Amino acid sequence: MRTAAQDHPLRIIGVDPERRFAGGESQVLGLSLELLKLGHDARLLCDPEGLLWQRARGAGVVCHPLKIRNALDCVAGMKLRGFLSRNRFDVVHFHTSRAHSMAPFAAGMAGALIVTRRMDYVPNRLFAPLLYNHAVDGVAAISREVARALVSGGVSSERITLIPSGVDCDRFHPPTAEQSAAARTQLGLAPGDVAIGAIGALEPRKGHRYLLDALGRLSQHRAIRAYIAGDGSQRAALQEQVHCLGFTNSVVFLGSIADPLTLFWAIDIFVQPSVMEGLGVALLEGMACGLPVVASRAGGMTEVIEDRHDGLLVPAADAAALAQALAELARSPDLRSALGSQARVKAVRDFSLSTMANRTLALYQSVLARKRGKCAA
């Protein structure tokens, strides 16, 4: 049986001007690739000097150049409008804050304007209602916490659709014994080491300082090693914290990494100590790799993890509780195995890329159908 998507392929352009490649960009690229698989014409507008441009083009996604300096970049807005006037699309999908600000320039230039909101803080109460209630046709929130933050900022709940992030569960999978051994050798891990990993921007909202405090409380566990991937404004301060705590040989700062798979396959425990988190793409990737995870009760992470079933939840900004959870997992390979197995099941069932793409496509088609109905009335 042919689907509606196959009979009526859509022309879709995603807008993401970020130069770095973080969790949001992995979602944008993954969505584009899934839409292409479904038979749609999915393209991107992005910065030609950014990593998304490089990786998307390498993966076969058609990219068009658009640099956006800030939320007030009217030159970029007019360039966007000119591009859309020359290239008609059914859907324009804005993926980041700077991209959202360009939505008013796209008014009337496509069948539907969609934005995705990934942050769980309350948006500006003056501009949010204007943007999300009037300038666009639909809003995707990646978690219920993000949706609640939008409503608190004055966005109508009727305009919000919940579409959780997704991960490639075929690529991110539990390693074989050989793959795990090779990854651990690459990181210099001994057979008896218990390796803890964290991935995320080194910014205050990611809570790395609480992780380091927790590791300081575990200094008696000599076999624990920690690997922190990511970069940001807090790197020097975090490195100084490690130095002051006296365990520089146990914590390794990896910087930004192009591919986290080797790290996931090498570690025994994944930790997400954020104090603010829309959902957490790295968290989902770790779960898909069959890792036991420890995460803060913050943002959308509480919607992903069922405490003591497929992970451990601890209060945000609580180093003592985080240390206790990590110590419990470090002592118990059986608990790590049980939680990791259930984490993999949940990731495949609820957070695959294909599930995310199909939910997004359903939003596109719903908005387009509603707008066609209004035009016919």
CB–CB of 105/78 below 8 Å? yes
CB–CB of 142/161 below 8 Å? no
- Average pLDDT score, the chain: 94
CB–CB of 114/135 below 8 Å? no
Distance CA(269)–CA(320), nearest Å, equals 17
The whole-number average pLDDT for the span 17-34 is 95
- What pTM does this model have? 0.92
Please write the tens of the pLDDT for every residue from 87-141: 999 999 999 999 999 999 999 999 999 999 999 999 988 889 999 999 999 999 9
CB–CB of 241/267 below 8 Å? no
Q: Is the pLDDT of residue 146 over 80?
A: yes
The count of other CB atoms within 10 Å of the CB of residue 216 is: 18
pLDDT band at 5 (very low <50, low <70, confident <90, very high): very low
44 CB-near residues (< 8 Å, 6+ apart)? 13, 14, 15, 16, 28, 32, 52, 53, 56, 61, 62, 63, 64
Q: Which architecture does CATH list for 177-350?
A: 3-Layer(aba) Sandwich (3.40)
CATH assignment, 4-166+352-376: 3.40.50.2000
Distance CA(281)–CA(150), nearest Å, equals 20
Distance CA(229)–CA(201), nearest Å, equals 8
Give residue 40's pLDDT.
98
Give residue 7's pLDDT.
57
* Of residues 126, 352, 153, the one with CA closest to residue 139: 153
Q: Is the pLDDT of residue 355 over 70?
A: yes
Give residue 376's pLDDT.
58
pLDDT band at 375 (very low <50, low <70, confident <90, very high): low
The boundaries of every CATH 3.40.50.2000 domain in the chain are 4-166+352-376, 177-350
* Of residues 189, 246, 182, the one with CA closest to residue 219: 246
The whole-number average pLDDT for the span 232-258 is 92
The count of other CB atoms within 10 Å of the CB of residue 373 is: 9
Provide the pairing of β-strand 194-199 with 89-94.
Answer: unpaired
Give residue 3's pLDDT.
43
Q: Give the percent of the chain with pLDDT over 70.
A: 97
* Of residues 164, 179, 197, the one with CA closest to residue 30: 164
CB–CB of 298/274 below 8 Å? yes
Identify the residue whose tokens are 């075929």.
170
CB–CB of 168/148 below 8 Å? no
Distance CA(71)–CA(179), nearest Å, equals 44
Distance CA(279)–CA(243), nearest Å, equals 31
Distance CA(218)–CA(322), nearest Å, equals 10
